[in-house]
Amino acid sequence: MTSNKSQFRPSQSVQLGSGTLIVQVRESVRARRMRLVMSPRRPAELIVPEKASSSDVNQFLQQKSKWVAEKHALIQSILSRPAELNLEQPSVVWLLGRQQHIQHMPTSRPSVRQVGRELIVGGNSDEAAAAVERWYRRKSRQHVQDLVEHQAKRLGLEFHNITIRDQQTRWGSCSSSRNLSFSWRLIMAPPEVFEYVAVHELCHLREPNHSKAFWRLLDVAQPQWPDAANWLRRHGQEVRAYNPRTVIDGSAEASK
């Protein structure tokens, strides 16, 4: 019986102009081809099919060496950007690009409740931070459900289910079974950014890849999408690095 689990092979190294990059190699029973994943918040990883040999892996990495070097330089540039949004300032949460004040009540029971424009958060630091993240997820689900239903009706498209996750490399996804998934962190971004990601994934219901036909469809469905995409390119790393713990106690140690 074939296992559905992935397993790691020995890591490989790719020579860069400034040094060496270690690439994790993960064998996946679901992989049909080799795929290299690089992003600011995770180690470089090469996903390979079960039947891929060591020579296949080495040849693939050699062929991709220029792309790896360019991608690595881009990631280093992203990581070196100064924070501009100031998301982690203490006692503030962000809802669709706007600040909302937090009052932390270190009670014995973790909770979040809305009082006017203020969020009352209970529990010790760890419990309160977890409660804030759950609040973000609830707000994200409420917003995206209404948003996707409205946009799907406008575009004449049908989807099945929506899930809210914390993806490390994608803001949203669309499966072959017409299920949509979105990062809860989008609820911190301006509303037009969340709307762009929702429409982007809905367009994949008609055009499953990033073909020219897909971009033509997106241009018609959301003509201002480049502005929202640029916002994510500029601020996405800061949004992904956000830790709710810092808004509770404002401690630099909290983000470690």
18 contacts 69 by C-beta, under 8 angstroms: no
pLDDT of residue 249: 62
Residue in the block written with tokens 């080799």:
34
pLDDT at 5: 62
Place of tokens 């690095």: 241
Alpha helix ranges (H) inside the chain: 54-63, 65-79, 125-155, 191-203, 212-221, 225-241, 244-249
Classify residue 152 by burial, with Cβ atoms within 10 Å: 0-12, 13-18, 19+. Answer: middle
CB neighbourhood size of 151 (10 A): 19
Confidence at residue 180, expressed as pLDDT on a 0 to 100 scale: 97
Cβ atoms of 141 and 185 within 8 Å: the answer is no
165-to-106, 140, 213 alpha-carbon distances in Å: 28, 10, 28
pLDDT at residue 2, rounded to an integer: 44
Report mean pLDDT in 10-residue bins for the chain, 256 residues: 67 84 89 85 86 91 89 77 78 91 84 87 90 94 96 96 90 94 96 97 95 96 96 91 79 35
**Whole-angstrom distance, CA of residue 86 vs CA of residue 141:** 24
**Residues 132 and 110: beta-carbon distance below 8 Å:** no
Position 95 scores a pLDDT of 92
Angle at 84 between CA 143 and CA 71, to 5 degrees: 90
